[in-house]
Amino acid sequence: MSTQVPERLGPYRLVRKIGEGGMGVVHLGMDGDGSQVAVKVLHPHVAADLKARDRLTREVETMRRVRSSHVAEVLDAELAGGQPYVVTRFAPGRTLEDTVLADGALRDYDLVRLARGLCQALVAIHAADVIHRDFKPSNVMLVDGEPLVIDFGIAHLVNATRLTQTGMFVGTPGYLAPEIIRDSEITQAADVHALASTVFFAATGVPPFGTGTFEAVCFNIMEGRAQLDKAPLWLRGWLSRALQVDARSRPSAQELLRMARVLDPTKTAFHEIPTMPPKPKPKPTGTRVLSGRDAYSDLLPPVDYAQPARKEKPARKEKPPPAPRMQPPPPYIPAPVAAQPRTDQRVAGYPTPPQVRPYTPPPAPQTRPGERKRFVVGSQFVGLLLLVALTALTVMVPVAVGATAIALAVVLRVGEYLFGEMVNRRRTRGGGSSADPLLAIVGTPWALVKAALVTLVHVPLALAFGAIVWGVLRWGGGMGINAAAAYAAGAFTLGLFVLPGGGAPRKAVTRSLTSVLRTPGAALVATVTVGTLALFAVMFALSQKTIWIPWEAPSKVIDRLTAQAQDGALSLLSGLADDLLKKTGLGFLSPWS
């Protein structure tokens, strides 16, 4: 696999490299409309893990559902090609980590603004049934004073099997929930714990569970030894609720947001923060839960795109009593950017290039149709062109292609019965399972029997449709016997997929094409290629002589059987069907033999 990154990747032009980590290289890119985006190109050793890429594809599809002005959403992804990449919105500014390290802890009302913005982001993330898994100061950008969550915790999917086998643990321990360190069941409550740890850092300038060796920090987390005495008095109750060791005792993202909205720096007594009794163990509500084998916080060793120049910590000034409504802070002025980016093990934001456009929050969902819907519509159109081509081929070679169409319908039904149910299971539990291949093998015989029975019932319906078309063309249009029979055979093939009962084959084709055509460019190439094939097939069907092998032309068979017929039209039809079955080697199925 090539390690050279071209000047363009798909529809994106790469302007310059802005960072690098263990998962890949990040470039500043330009899309077709001239807007700036961040293009993360996976390293070759990461892209070579096909199982991880498949899981990463499903995770990216889920992340696209997140819509919030406080989340830098995933815009696009191409994970099937030779150089897989993920595209996110480019956010100029500094990370929360860099801001605190350079300027000191945030002031009280900036801290309230940060907590409320992060809670709003987490509510949107959890509403989309996503677990971020990697909340920390270096994954939060400050754009004009408002927090913006970046870098979803998708890197945990990469080489997960290898990590499980070797027992390796990778991550930023100071911001992990206890259940992640214990490698036990992970729920959305892990994000609540990490969010509170991030706010603690913003309020104090230090991690909540201290510094030191990896083992010491992990021990403090699992024992719940947060240094709450270093946090402001008015914030301690809020932090204490969110940093509970027991995940069931932590508030949900929505509850944490409600608590953040009543935070008031003027109230310094600890007991004035609303307290609530620990929540009982919740009943199953469909909240996504990850198995222990997926519990990896971060395999994307974070990168620092630029180190801001450190300046003296400004003297803290006492704020006057708050006005009835908080005034917006002054506009954010980016810190100076170093000449060259450097690589380390912290996640940081993007440097502010010259003349960067201000960040614009993403539009509301109703004004921005989903990319997934466009891919499905494109796949359905390509499937329609394939059906046109198959119908035209049936007109040219009615018997052989018609029999092939029946077999194809059976195969597609089997695939839909097996993999359609597998996709539904993955959506329900939020990921794949090692039992999926075994379930597919065990379910194949029943799926084959079910598909054969449904097709056996559906074929007579398609034959009736073809007979109607033959009668209309023969007696209504004055067409010859052979020509009308050829078009009737095409109608039969069409009926296998469009008549009632043909939904399963259609869904199987759409699902297969959607998994392949993941970019507008791929959909365009497929449309042109298949469209050309369908056009030539239709032209040949209209101009070439019909090939009836391995049967005879219907006119000859009808003439021969008419001479032998003694019982009228019914005898003629039964003799025609019997003759067709014998010529195609299926005479043992004939009830008239």
74 three-class SS: strand
What is the Cα–Cα distance from 122 to 66, expressed in whole angstroms?
A: 10
CA angle 531, 534, 538 (to 5 degrees): 140
Torsion of CA 302, 303, 309, 312, to 10 degrees: 0
Closest among 74, 81, 92, 86 to 23, alpha carbons compared: 86
d(CA 124, CA 132) in angstroms, rounded, equals: 11
Which H/E stretch holds residue 77?
A: strand 74-78
Q: What is the dihedral of CA 223, 227, 232, 238, to 10 degrees?
A: -10
How far is 349 from 91, CA to CA, in rounded Å? Answer: 8
163-202 b/e (C-beta count within 10 Å ≥ 16 → b): beeeeebebbbbbbbbbbbeeeebbbbbbbbbbbbbbbbb
Q: Which helix (H) or strand (E) segment is 204 a member of?
A: helix 189-204
**Sheet with 12-20: strands ordered across:** 8-9, 12-20, 24-30, 36-42, 85-89, 74-78
Known active-site residue 134:
yes
- Which residues make beta-bridge pairs with 141? 95, 148
What are the strands of the beta sheet with 140-143, ordered from one edge? 94-95, 140-143, 146-149
**Cα–Cα distance measured from residue 158 to residue 138, given in angstroms and rounded to the nearest whole number:** 20
Q: How many residues does the chain have?
A: 593
What is d(CA 245, CA 176) in angstroms, rounded to the nearest whole number? 11
Q: Give dist(CA 456, CA 463) in Å, integer.
A: 11
Give the other-Cβ count within 10 Å of 23's Cβ. Answer: 25
Give the residue from 590, 57, 7, 1 showing the smallest Cα distance to 375: 57
CB 157 within 8 A of CB 50: no
Tokens 């991880």 correspond to: 52
Tracing tokens 């198959």 back to the chain, one arrives at 390
Cα distance between residue 297 and residue 429, in whole Å: 19
d(CA 375, CA 405): 26
65, 116 contact by CB (below 8 A): no
Angle at 420 between CA 417 and CA 423, to 5 degrees: 145
CB contact at 8 A, 524 and 429 = no
Amino acid at 66: V
Task: Say if CB 294 and CB 286 are below 8 A apart.
Answer: no
Catalytic residue among 49, 98, 108, 134: 134
Annotated catalytic residues are 134
